[in-house]
Amino acid sequence: MQQTDKILRALHNNLKTLKAENFHKKKRKRRNPKKLSVQETIQEMVIKMERALEKYDISDRVNVWDVSFQIEENYHEKTFAEIKTAHEKLVAVGITSNQLKMLSYVERGKMYNFLKENQRFGEWKVVCNELQICRRTADRYIDFHSIINAYPRLLVRELTFETIMSAYKPLRQYLLCHKELEAKLRIPLRSTHVKGKEMYTSRHMAGAGNKRSVACRCT
């Protein structure tokens, strides 16, 4: 009887150890998803950009960035078709909001570049302290303005500020060898209307009429 108890206890302990090992293995797999290489990231970006540019070029009408949406009290009285329409609207607003945020970053870069080059308001360090922004962050916005000024149609694709800044150097090397895509990205944005706001023409958007080359300090 004692021998049987020993065997059962040993089996029980082995099963506990096995379950614990399997649990930790599964947990590790969830914590460590496969990270894309730089080349894979660029390939993914290029595919998305080409699709977005193709869609953008279908029409030469004024581009509308609509950021309005309805905040519903409930969805009980709505049909699925109505909910589907509301969902599409919210997705579109999310994309447009990101584009507007990116455009605000471009304008900040333009502003910081002016303040850095113009000493009328004091030394750059003093100006940054007054604006409560570190110089390194301000320089990243300046670089971003330079990038978008050279390739304004990067704003067509819902890429994030972080993605563009982190992958710009290899992307730039890719574009140097793929002139057709580079030429498409250099075309100024169409006249853009933000619904409920004023009209922006392509003459006032980044990249319009500007032939300067990119001078980026991305690291």
Tell how far CA 148 is from the center of its chain.
13
Q: What is the pLDDT of residue 14?
A: 56
Q: Model's pTM, two decimal places?
A: 0.69
Specify whether 24 is located in the same domain as 132.
Answer: no
Within this chain, do residues 21 and 72 fall inside the same structural domain, yes or no? Answer: no
Pair (22, 6) in one structural domain: yes
Q: What is the mean pLDDT of residues 52-70?
A: 79
Mean pLDDT of 99-113: 93
Q: What does the alpha-carbon distance between residue 169 and residue 145 come to, in Å, rounded to a whole number?
A: 15
More confidently predicted of 217 and 39: 39
Say if residue 98 is in the same domain as residue 194: yes
The sign of the CA dihedral 28, 34, 37, 38 is negative
Q: Give the domain extent around 9.
A: 1-32
Classify the phi-psi angles of 200: left when phi > 0, otherwise alpha if psi is within -120 to 50, otherwise beta.
Answer: beta
The tally of domains found in the chain comes to: 2
**Strand order across the 199-200 sheet:** 63-65, 192-194, 199-200
Q: Does 11 share its domain with 96?
A: no
DSSP string computed for 113-171: HHHHH-GGG--HHHHHHHHT--HHHHHHHHHHHHHHHH-GGGGTS---HHHHHHHHHHH
- Flag whether 218 is in a domain: no
Give the model's pLDDT for residue 182. 92
Pair (43, 27) in one structural domain: no
Let me know whether 25 and 44 are in one domain: no
In a domain, 149, yes or no: yes
Query: Do 96 and 1 belong to one domain?
Result: no
Same domain for 57 and 81, yes or no, is yes
Over residues 187-209, the pLDDT tens digits come to 888 887 777 545 455 555 666 65
Q: What is the phi/psi pair of residue 162, to 5°?
A: -65, -40
- Establish if 55 belongs to a structural domain: yes
Is residue 161 pLDDT above 80, yes or no? yes
63 beta partners: 192
163-195 pLDDT, tens digit each: 889 888 898 889 989 999 999 999 888 887 777
> Under 8 Å CB-to-CB from 174, ≥6 apart: which residues?
42, 46
Q: Is the same domain home to 92 and 161?
A: yes
Question: Would you say residue 115 lies in a domain?
Answer: yes
In degrees and rounded to multiples of 5, residue 211 shows phi and psi of -105, 10
For residue 148, what are its two tokens?
Answer: 């978008």
Structure confidence at residue 142 as a pLDDT band (50, 70, 90): very high
Other C-beta atoms closer than 10 Å to the C-beta of 146 total 23
Q: Which of 19-33, 49-63, 93-107 has the highest mean pLDDT?
A: 93-107
Q: Quote the tokens at residue 68.
A: 């309005």
Same domain, 128 and 200: yes
In this structure, are 47 and 89 located in the same domain?
A: yes
Map 71-125 to HEC letters.
CCCCCCCCCHHHHHHHHHHHHHHHHHHHHHHHHHHHHHHHHHHHHHHCHHHCCHH
